[in-house]
Amino acid sequence: MAFLPFVRPTIDEAMIAAVADTLRSRWLTSGPRTAAFEQALSQRFGGRPVRTLTSATAGMQVALELIGVGPGDEVITPAQSFFATANVIERTGAATVFVDVDLRTRNIDLEQAQAAVTPRTRVLLPTHYNAPLDPEALAAFARRHGVRVVEDAALAIGSRAGGRPVGATGDIVSFSFHPNKNMTTIEGGALVLNDEREAGLVEELRFHGIRRLEDGTRDVERAGSKYNFSDVSARLGLEQLVHLDEWCRARERLAHHYFACLEGDELLTPERLPPRDNPGHSWNMFTVLLPLESMGRSRKAFIDAMHKDGIGVGISYEAIHLTTLFRGKGFRPGRFPVSERIARETATLPLFPEMHESDVERVCAAMGRVLRRKAA
């Protein structure tokens, strides 16, 4: 039987032809296709300005820069997310203030975030994880504490919250188009912004800070980066965007098949699964918390055994505060127990739109065997 990876982007012949046409046009870097892709995304987000960048990491970095975050500031973020979320804060010179997450949604615990606010807090940087973040709760948080919100929506392109697409509301919203995400441009990201002033700032910051002057020459006032998007990626993005909603529906269907297959499993109890009733969620991942004690084997041994059965399993994510970087700043185990438990027990099962329900059944059957087989 063919190996089943835990993620696989959908690439069809129309996409390959569109990319080939772009290559033939010889216009490869930022140009008309990038503008068209930004326009198509903007339409999806209720007409809000959108600017693309080479990755979501670049996008979040630029978002913090345009807000003016720097040394002496604090940014509140979850301890359980991808490393990028905290890395971009560290690179501004601001202090990363971690808070814990909810065990099932894996989203930031906003009550703990409230308690972490100080007069130095400039930004809340939460991740949409196993459920969409509540836009009203984020807006209320921003109002109450006078802070900006940068949503890390890397996993959430195609999600909806409060009846609208994630990105259509809120302050600044950052998406990723990495191949593991719900749609891909190979590498890439996009920022949804509040107005044209912010969009102009992103244009500067993503391309060396360059401004065009009336006499045709160029000037730089502040040093920008080199994060502009390529037209080859944009052309793929335009083609992918057409399928996004259909792919998210396929993800949801497959996720519900996982729930049906795992129903009644005494090892994988509901608290070990994502929330089942999860309106608007785009199901980028199907994560479980492994019952390590009853399994009698390590997660590594579990993943290796699944691999031997032809099934890929991922790990999302480590606890960021326990990386060498943050241990060096004094963080120790026990500080954020929920994030740490997720980091220890989590496993990401295969989920991508081209999978069949029989693949889900195959994963569940293999997992049932591996979880119960005694370690050698």
Active site residues: 181
Q: Among 22, 30, 52, 55, which residue sits at the site for ligand PLP (rule: CB under 6 A)?
A: 55
Candidates 107, 176, 185, 346; binder of ligand PLP (CB under 6 A) is 176
Which of positions 183-202 make contact with ligand PLP (CB under 6 A)? 189
DSSP 8-state secondary structure symbol assigned to residue 374: P
Rg (alpha carbons) of the chain, rounded to whole number: 21
Q: How far is the CB of 181 from ligand PLP (least distance, A)?
A: 7
The nearer residue to ligand PLP, 27 or 207, going by C-beta atoms, is: 207
User: Cα 330 vs. chain centroid, distance in angstroms?
Assistant: 27
Identity of the amino acid at 202 = V
Instruction: Please state, in angstroms and rounded to a whole number, the distance separating the CA atoms of residues 348 and 82.
Output: 14
Q: With CB under 6 A as the contact rule, which of the stretches 80-88, 89-97, 304-312, 323-331 interacts with ligand PLP?
A: 80-88
- According to the binding rule CB under 6 A, does residue 227 interact with ligand PLP? no
Residues 6+ apart with CB under 8 A from 358: none
Q: According to the binding rule CB under 6 A, does residue 130 interact with ligand PLP?
A: no
Closest CA to 168 of 176, 180, 156, 177: 156
Estimate the crossing angle of helix 244-262 against helix 357-372, to 10 degrees: 40
> Binders of ligand PLP: how many residues, by CB under 6 A?
14
> Minimum distance between the CB of residue 101 and ligand PLP, rounded to whole angstroms?
12
Give the residue with the Cβ less far from ligand PLP, 112 or 180: 180
Query: Of residues 22, 80, 85, 107, which one binds ligand PLP by CB under 6 A?
Result: 85
Check binding of 154 to ligand PLP (CB under 6 A). Answer: yes
Write down the least CB distance from residue 88 to ligand PLP, Å.
9
Least distance to ligand PLP from the beta carbon of 92, Å? Answer: 16
State the residue for tokens 């057409």.
242
Q: How many CB atoms lie within 10 A of CB 187?
A: 18
Among 38, 65, 151, 152, binds ligand PLP (CB under 6 A): 152
Gap between the Cα atoms of 29 and 344, Å rounded: 42
d(CA 209, CA 26): 26
Among residues 42, 77, 81, 92, the one that binds ligand PLP under rule CB under 6 A = 81
Q: What is the pattern of x (binds ligand PLP, CB under 6 A) and - over residues 304-343?
A: ----------------------------------------
Contact by Cβ (8 Å): 40, 241: yes
- Contact between residue 34 and residue 238 where contact means Cβ atoms under 8 Å apart: no
CB of 49 vs ligand PLP, minimal distance in Å: 19
Give DSSP secondary structure letters for 125-168: --B--SS---HHHHHHHHHHHT-EEEEE-TT-TT-EETTEETTS
Binding site for ligand PLP (CB under 6 A): 55-57, 81-82, 84-85, 127, 152, 154-155, 176, 178, 189
